[in-house]
Amino acid sequence: MRELNAAAVSAGLTGFIWYACGALPLQLALSAALGLSAGSVFIVWATGGAASIVLSLRLRQPIPVAWSIPALVYVASLAGRFNAAEIAGATLVSAVMLAAFVLAGGGSRLMRWLPMPIVMATFAGSLLEYMHRAIAATLADAMIAGSVVAGYFAARLIASPRVPPVGIALVVGSLAVAVQGPVSLGEFAWSFPTLEVPRFQFDPAAITAVSVPLVVFALGLGNAQGLGFLRAQGYEVPVDRVSRAVAMGSLINALFGGTPATVARNAAALLAGPDAGPARGRYWGVLISSALTVAMACALAPFAALMAALPASFAVTLAGVALVSSLQDALEKAFAGALRFGAVLAFVVAATPFSLGGITSGFWALVAGILASLVARESGLPFWDLRRQKP
């Protein structure tokens, strides 16, 4: 308890608001489009929250485990091409592939192989989308979003460790929401989500189209960037241990219709960045957000109604200001090393929203950054020492 601090508490609450407002409504909508039950939503949040709590307590490190929004969006885009049983079978295959890769030691080898400056540049580029959303929300809703921004910068101006900027932004924004008027929750009926094992059908075409991209989402977009950011913050993350927990969660999720688990890169930026307080106590933010996430999983209807009633600008802007310090830190680490050309290209690609072969730009940014460093003959690549090569 001595490591608990106001900054970690505000980061944990912000992380939970981001989960509930930014991810839960989308997940419910896409799961309904795929014909999945509420149990498929419950299992993903429950396993992710439980894994986050156990890992963070045991390691005393902020390890947020959740699920990938791009992965679910991608799977939902295939709903008209494959039926629910084929998608469920392909998702289960992806979880088995992920587990096999991790058990073979692929998680730690991947982290050793990926150049950290390019990982950080990709991470920074992926955060720009949320900065753009926060700016747009501030321009459109000066009352609530503007209050969040004003509270954040007022706390930064005070520059006191006892006045966490994200916490002040959360309080001021909440007051603005309260001043605007009462929040109407409407009518909802609560019931504990029921777990259902879906029907599995293993179609080769579905496996080809779904399984490999889901593994890429889990490793290339989640684990690589999330764990990379944690390592850049000075945490000695046991990659294989964390990867095994992610793989186990993915298998459990798949058995009940859920998507693979992953180390949440955006949550890592919120909960493990400089604004989350002293490094030794940041795991408290994960504990708080994860405990609330498990509670949310047990009461999906009430939480969904509550979050739908909140102004969208509140959560978007709060997440935006909470990511500022993480973005600054990632940029500093990306361009301070030898792989500057590769890092620049990775940042530009990651900051450009597109999808190629069903895989979003975050993965292709890693590929582009590494290839650019090879072409530019930059030294510092961990898998190929270019300094030893003849001109």
- Report pLDDT digits (tens) over 10-20: 999 999 988 88
Question: What pLDDT is attached to residue 391?
Answer: 41
What is the rounded CA–CA span in Å between residue 237 and residue 243? 10
What is the rounded CA–CA span in Å between residue 232 and residue 269? 11
What is the rounded CA–CA span in Å between residue 370 and residue 47? 34
**Widest CA span of the chain, in angstroms?**
71
Question: What pLDDT is attached to residue 390?
Answer: 43
Question: What pLDDT is attached to residue 383?
Answer: 64
Q: What are the two backbone dihedrals, phi and then psi, of residue 197, each rounded to the nearest 5 degrees?
A: -85, 120
- The pairing of beta strand 261-263 with beta strand 359-360: unpaired
Judged by average pLDDT, the poorest of 205-209, 289-293, 373-377, 386-390 is 386-390
Orientation of helix 144-158 relative to helix 116-140, angle to 10°? 130
Enumerate residues 6+ apart whose C-beta is below 8 A from 109. Answer: none
Mean pLDDT of the chain: 87
| % of the chain beyond a pLDDT of 90 | 44
CA angle 207, 85, 210 (to 5 degrees): 25
Question: What pLDDT is attached to residue 144?
Answer: 92
Label residue 187 by pLDDT band (50, 70, 90): low
Q: In the chain, what are the helix, strand and coil shares in percent, each to the nearest 5? A: 70, 5, 25
Contact between 173 and 165 under an 8 Å Cβ cutoff? The reply is no
- pTM, whole model, 2 decimals? 0.86
Average pLDDT over residues 214-218: 86
- DSSP letter at 193 equals P
pLDDT digits (tens, 9 = 90+) for 73-111: 788 788 778 888 899 999 999 999 999 999 888 888 888
Question: What pLDDT is attached to residue 189?
Answer: 65
Q: Give the DSSP per-residue string, 127-145.
A: HHHHHHHHHHHHHH-TTHH
| % of the chain beyond a pLDDT of 70 | 95
CB atoms within 10 A of CB 332: 12
**CA dihedral angle for residue 90, residue 370, residue 68, residue 92, rounded to 10 degrees:** 20
Question: What pLDDT is attached to residue 263?
Answer: 92
Average pLDDT over residues 377-386: 70
Contact between 44 and 251 under an 8 Å Cβ cutoff? The reply is no
CA angle 348, 353, 354 (to 5 degrees): 110
Tokens matching residue 12: 């944990």
Q: What are the two backbone dihedrals, phi and then psi, of residue 235, each rounded to the nearest 5 degrees?
A: -85, 130
State how far the alpha carbon of 12 is from the alpha carbons of 76, 137, 140, 319, 335, in Å. Answer: 29, 22, 27, 12, 29
What is the rounded CA–CA span in Å between residue 262 and residue 218? 5
Question: What pLDDT is attached to residue 105?
Answer: 87
CA angle 234, 325, 360 (to 5 degrees): 85
Tell me: pLDDT of 385 over 60.
no
Label residue 183 by pLDDT band (50, 70, 90): low
Label residue 379 by pLDDT band (50, 70, 90): confident
pLDDT digits (tens, 9 = 90+) for 233-269: 999 999 999 999 999 999 999 999 888 899 988 889 9
Tell me: pLDDT of 26 over 80.
no
What is the rounded CA–CA span in Å between residue 253 and residue 45? 9
Label residue 387 by pLDDT band (50, 70, 90): very low
Residue 59 or 300, more confident: 59
Question: What pLDDT is attached to residue 386?
Answer: 45
- Coil, strand or helix at 261: strand
- DSSP letter at 203 equals -
Label residue 186 by pLDDT band (50, 70, 90): low
Average pLDDT over residues 173-196: 76
Question: What pLDDT is attached to residue 188?
Answer: 61
Residue 67's DSSP bridge partners are 261
Question: What pLDDT is attached to residue 193?
Answer: 78
Tell me: pLDDT of 152 over 70.
yes
CA angle 253, 88, 304 (to 5 degrees): 55
Question: What pLDDT is attached to residue 185?
Answer: 59
Judged by average pLDDT, the poorest of 201-215, 282-296, 352-366 is 352-366
Tell me: pLDDT of 272 over 70.
yes
What is the rounded CA–CA span in Å between residue 223 and residue 261? 10
Average pLDDT over residues 124-147: 91
